[in-house]
Amino acid sequence: MEIRFRAPRITLQQRITFTERLVLLLETGVSLFEALKAMQHQPESPLLASIIGSIADTVSEGKSFSYALGKHPEMFSSTYVSLVGAAEEGGFLPQVLAQLHKMDEKNSQLSSNIKAALSYPLFLIGFSVLVVGFVLVFIFPKFEALFASIRDQLPATTLFLMAMSGLLRNHWLVLGVGCGACTWAAHRWISSVRGRLALDRAKMRLPVIRDIFTQIYLSQTLSVLGLSLSSGVPITVALKASQGVVRNVFFAGFLEDLKQHVNEGRGIAVGFNRSELVPPLVQQMITTGEQTGNLGMVMTRVAEFYERELTRRITAMSKAIEPIMLIVMGIVVGLIVVSLILPIFKLSRAIH
């Protein structure tokens, strides 16, 4: 049987560093090829050094920088490549690279904020599972022989926990294999076309989840559109670039509608106004931005607002979940304690 190891991956932080260094070199007057050759010897990652070397070789052959980037989708998204291509044609490559660096930093910060907000509730859940498992595997068996004489009088909770204890101790291998198989099957299902469609549908329909993911998708889309339009990229190219940002089939339908409205000459605001995903206030701001010719600036401001609002909302949800988790932990611990103490009281009364 062939064993496959996961190939090394380029992280977002490595792309941020690459873009930042490239912008610095280009702004000091260094040519693109010389900048790439100089950067090839700086990365700590051999994979990143190899990618930069490949890009430099492609550029030296007379190919465009965007074409060279497009050969490495593991590092550069279609959005990144499209914007760089438009910047090359317009002659403002350093400016767009600087904005791409800023946008990647914002996305990285947003991701860090969300992870930080969810880390403590996830820690509480994991800790609770470990405590309960430890009690069932190591504590309850010590009382099993003691409770044997009054088994018919034991509370239902004690009988249930003793049964769970026996199941964990006697069938831990089967349970472990079963959990692993379920995890593998779930991963395969999510990776399938049907699974991705179901997951995308859930993200856009479940009450609370829908609002959060809509804010994430709108923030990412408006950030790319605002960056593109502010940099002088044509709106048709900007819309094409934005379609590679959000990987949700149903939200992609909204972006396709925007593209169709623009191609038909009706403007981008019409697509925003007809979509149920866009709040009325944002619809009004996009309409005003299009009428005044400040659409890029308006979209950037709205994207920044959504980033702050999303961070605030996730943090508030995290703080609301924490006391709920503590209450649940208290109930579980109390149930376990009561399930042990009540039979002991019954035994002491029987002895006396």
pLDDT above 60 for 32: yes
Mean pLDDT, range 144-157, rounded to an integer: 75
More confident residue, 3 or 85: 85
pLDDT above 60 for 303: yes
Residue with tokens 């090839």: 40
pLDDT above 80 for 175: yes
| pLDDT value, residue 4 | 39
Kindly report whether the global pTM for this prediction surpasses the value 0.85.
no
| Residue 246 DSSP code | -
| pLDDT value, residue 182 | 92
Mean pLDDT, range 88-97, rounded to an integer: 82
The structure tokens listed for 193 are 């076309």
pLDDT above 60 for 225: yes
| pLDDT value, residue 6 | 46
The greatest distance separating any two alpha carbons of the chain, rounded to the nearest whole angstrom, comes to: 97
Least reliable range by pLDDT among 67-71, 186-190, 278-282, 321-325 = 321-325
Mean pLDDT, range 67-94, rounded to an integer: 84
pLDDT above 80 for 41: no
Residues of the chain with pLDDT > 70, as a percent, come to 95
Confidence of residue 248 (pLDDT cuts 50, 70, 90): confident
Would you report the helix, strand and coil content of the chain in percent, each value rounded to 5? 80, 0, 20
Task: Check if the beta carbon of residue 39 is closer than 8 Å to that of residue 17.
Answer: no
Mean pLDDT, range 73-100, rounded to an integer: 83
pLDDT above 60 for 191: yes
Confidence of residue 1 (pLDDT cuts 50, 70, 90): very low
| pLDDT value, residue 352 | 55
Tell me the Ramachandran region of residue 293: left when phi exceeds 0, alpha when psi lies from -120 to 50, beta otherwise: left
| pLDDT value, residue 308 | 85
pLDDT above 80 for 59: yes
Torsion sign, CA atoms 162, 167, 170, 176: negative
Rounded Cα gap, residues 107 and 124, in angstroms? 27
The domains located in the chain, with CATH, are 12-76 (no CATH), 91-352 (1.20.81.30)
pLDDT above 70 for 5: no
